[in-house]
Amino acid sequence: MALCHSDETEQMLSALRAEETRLLEALSATRTKLNDLMPISALPAEILEEIFGICISRLYGFQKSPHRLALTQVCRRWRFVSLNAARLWRIIDLRNPRLAQESFLRSASAPIHLSAWSPSQLCIEGPYIEGLGSHAERVKSVELNLFPEDMIKLFRNLGPSLPALTDLSLTVPALSTNFILDDLPCLPHLKALTLDCVSIPWHQCVGLTRLSLRGQATGYSPSLTQLRTIFEASPNLEHIRLSCITLALPDVDIAPPRLISLPQLREFNIAAKASVIQSILSDISLSPTTRLHINCSQFDGLDDLLPARLKAMYPLSDIRVVRLVREGVRLLTSAAAPWSNDPADWKVSFICPHRISERAFSADLPQFFDLSSVNTLELGFALNDWMINSLGPFLAQLPNLETLRIAKNDLEYLLDNLSHSELLCPRLKTLTIGSVESSGGWGSFGDSCLKPLVLFAKARRSASVPLETVEFVYSDIFTHNARNELEGLVGRVVFFPDRP
């Protein structure tokens, strides 16, 4: 009898399960029809999780949000999704022990990202720190700003190897000094490395795609030979930033047996002494698409920075815009918007915080690349005496210049100088005065500038090369008289923003 009862029960359960499956399928079909006919009433859990993932990625950064658990406080459904989505707990803030322990648990087997960006608040002791080694295989990235002793303890707890780690960023507080992290675990898959006043065993720098070194003093920065080795071991480097490092140079500069090719390099930023910059650039072969940004506190000419072979092997045929600013020169591509500050538009820049030398501007720049390819010149600073004297010869080497943009300058002196010189830039068609950036007061032009502007327009017209367009962008020179004075001398006068 018991066996018979058991068989009947099993049959009933099977029938109920079949009925449950049928009803669920019918309910799903009904909901699908409703969603087709009206706005969706509730987002699926996977879409909510995707949205939460985007929100979480924006909450985390150098400035940590105080509302990390806000998604769990909206409603029961949001709480369930956010607490059970492993990827939402991958970014682990080591400053908060309780939250860190919860993150380790809820992230399950997902890759994790360790962060500690406030050394004064970090408690380096505790079970969640001591147990880091059990999660070592999941660590995808590490971003730390810690005092040396705390950083050493942390990596010791992580264990001898971080096999999944691809991104490493190490910084010490401003009050700390340079130090060498000798106990760094083995990092077989490291791709992106950022070190600020921290040194590591340089032989670990293999297969990198991003390298950023800043503030390494003498004895802590890699030697020139070690830097060459890093480049050779990382042929797929895409971004390099070397800032304020004190590189030990050999007493006798011996040329390497061959240039190091970095065909994938998109951007190379270097700020150092002229001798260091030249030594580093002497060793590498840059791709034609590489953006080169040089910052040097003092140099007489470009030959102090650029090895002769670099100028021959680094084509600049796509340069169309030259921008002269107070602290240096920027060479931009044809795709650059007026006064673009997007580094992606800068092909080459030479920055000197004090002032770029006359030799670098007037003599070396024309030797660096063919100025006849330039069709736009941007003047973004007030001309000093030597620049005024050199500007005429410089403009004479721009036969295809079509656009002159002046954002901040002694417009009266500049245009007066151009009006009384021999005919320069015969293809000049557009003169733009002011810029969107100057709307806040930077680059103001007074009413006295109108007279030399009219004289300049007359001079161009008399020489049978009249200006086609004069553009005024956020400048207090613009009155009704400006349009009247220039009428008949230029093709059109444009105001931005538009004025009646």
pLDDT of residue 6: 76
pLDDT of residue 56: 64
Tokens of 466: 């009249």
Q: Is a pLDDT exceeding 60 seen at residue 64?
A: no
Question: Across 12-16, 54-58, 108-112, 128-132, which has the greatest mean pLDDT?
Answer: 12-16
SS3 for 306-371 is: CCHHHHHHCCCCCEEEEEEECCEEEEEECCCCCCCCCHHHEEEEEECCCCCCHHHHHHHHHHHCCH
Angle at 98 between CA 93 and CA 101, to 5 degrees: 70
Q: Scanning the structure block, which residue is given the tokens 């921290």? A: 198
Which of 34-48, 143-157, 367-381 is predicted least confidently?
34-48
CB contact at 8 A, 382 and 410: yes
Q: Give per-residue pLDDT as tens, 175-186.
A: 888 899 988 899
The residues, any chain, with a CB within 8 Å of residue 91's CB and separated by 6 or more, are 56, 60, 103, 112, 113, 115
- Residues 242-269, buried b or exposed e (16+ Cβ, 10 A)? bebbbbeeeeeeeeeeeebebeebebbb
**Cα gap 322→402, rounded to integer Å:** 12
**Cα gap 289→210, rounded to integer Å:** 16
CA distances to 59, 71, 77 from 74, rounded to whole Å, are 17, 6, 8
Q: Would strands 139-145 and 167-171 be described as parallel, antiparallel, or unpaired?
A: parallel
Alpha carbon dihedral 84, 86, 87, 89, in 10-degree steps, equals 90
CA-closest candidate to residue 145, choices 223, 209, 64: 64
**Cα gap 335→346, rounded to integer Å:** 10
**Cα gap 11→20, rounded to integer Å:** 14
pLDDT of residue 443: 45
- Domains of the chain, first to last: 45-88 (no CATH), 317-342+356-500 (3.80.10)
Q: Give per-residue pLDDT as tens, 359-398.
A: 666 667 777 788 888 999 988 766 665 566 677 778 888 8
How confident is residue 165, by pLDDT bands cut at 50, 70 and 90?
very high
Alpha carbon dihedral 263, 269, 271, 275, in 10-degree steps, equals 20
Angle at 285 between CA 280 and CA 289, to 5 degrees: 115
